[in-house]
Structure formats: structure tokens, C-alpha cells
Amino acid sequence: MIRTVISDMGNVILPFDVTAFLERISEYSSMNKEDVMKIPVLHDGLINSFCKGLISPQEYYHNMKKIFKADIDFKKFKRIYCDIFSLNSSVLHTLSKLKGEKKLILLSNTDTLHFNFIKKRYPEIFIFDDYVLSYQTGSVKPEHHIFEQALKLAGDKPESAVFIDDMEENIQAAEELGLKTVHFVSGKDLEAELKKWGLSF
């Protein structure tokens, strides 16, 4: 029986568009736009360090300025870096139906700038019983430690939990630990997928 539902945030509850950030930062860059658009923002060591809470927002900002050769102040950088999200109201509605019935845990690779922005812009998503955030735990998915932290907070066993995420590598890591999983992609009916694991709505 599933007692705990652990959900990712980005590209599940809050779809995001990294190209929106690249488009905006290119306006402040001395590089041509085509070169800016090729920079892999989410897959370099810098974002990993920031998501683990190993560097400060100011350190991250200064490093990003160097990478993008951008002449931009911190306030403008925060705005264009953070304003990349939208709300998947269908997913939020499905998870909201489980409130009080199942233990709800948000498990996210995120950083302090993004998360503080989300708290102000999307307060309606804060329906969870607990939050496991990479910048607070010092660990990121697909590392096993962050999943173990979520299960510890839930006070539950892996076989009694289902994990929802958009990335295959994170799904595989959860399954290695014995969790049930839903590999969520845009357009998928989350409620129908959760019913396959015996959840009722």
C-alpha cells in the first residue's frame, strides 16, 4: 500500500523554459546570441554546486556573468534567471486531492534563488507535508542520499512510496532504492498513472 507520494517540482508541477533565460541574458552579453544559446546552463559544474548549496547566490551570479560575458547587475540577473517557470495546474490539482490522505513530500534539485522566487510567485504549490531541497541537503538527484532523506522525513519504507519525476536518471535511482515510480512527461495524466499503483481519488 502506498502511504507516501514524493514529487519533483521542476517540469512536473512547475514546467520551466531555460531558453527564456538564455534569450534574456543574451541581451546583456558581449557574445553573439547563437553562442549564448549553446551554453548548457543546467549541466555544468556551477549549477550543480549552487543546487548543493556549496556557493552563495552572489558567487553564482559573478560566475554566470563570466560565463555569459554579461554586463548585468544582480537584481536584473535574479529576475531573468528566476522568471522561467509556469504552473501545471492539472498536476497540482491531482496532488492536492491526496492532501491528508497520503504523506506528500516535495523533492527538488533547486537553488535558493529559484526557490525563494517560487515561494512568492507560486504560493499555491505549497501543499506538501515536508520539503527536501537539494541546496539544504547538500545532495542532488540522482544521488541516493537525497531520496533517503525524503524517506526519513516521511517515516516510510521505499516500497510504500511512489516517486514522480521527469528525468529518467532520477527514476532509475529511485527504483534502485525500491521506490515505485511515475516517469512524468508533458501531457501525461498523472492521476491515471498514480491509480496504476493503487492510489484512489
d(CA 74, CA 126): 27
Q: What's the confidence (pLDDT) of residue 40?
A: 85
Q: What's the confidence (pLDDT) of residue 136?
A: 98
SS3 185: coil
In the chain, which residues have pLDDT < 50? none
d(CA 188, CA 85): 19
pTM: 0.96
AA identity, residue 111: D
Q: What's the confidence (pLDDT) of residue 43?
A: 64
Around 168, how many Cα atoms within 13 Å sit in the side-chain half-sphere? 0
Q: What's the confidence (pLDDT) of residue 187?
A: 87
d(CA 73, CA 80): 11
Q: What's the confidence (pLDDT) of residue 41?
A: 78
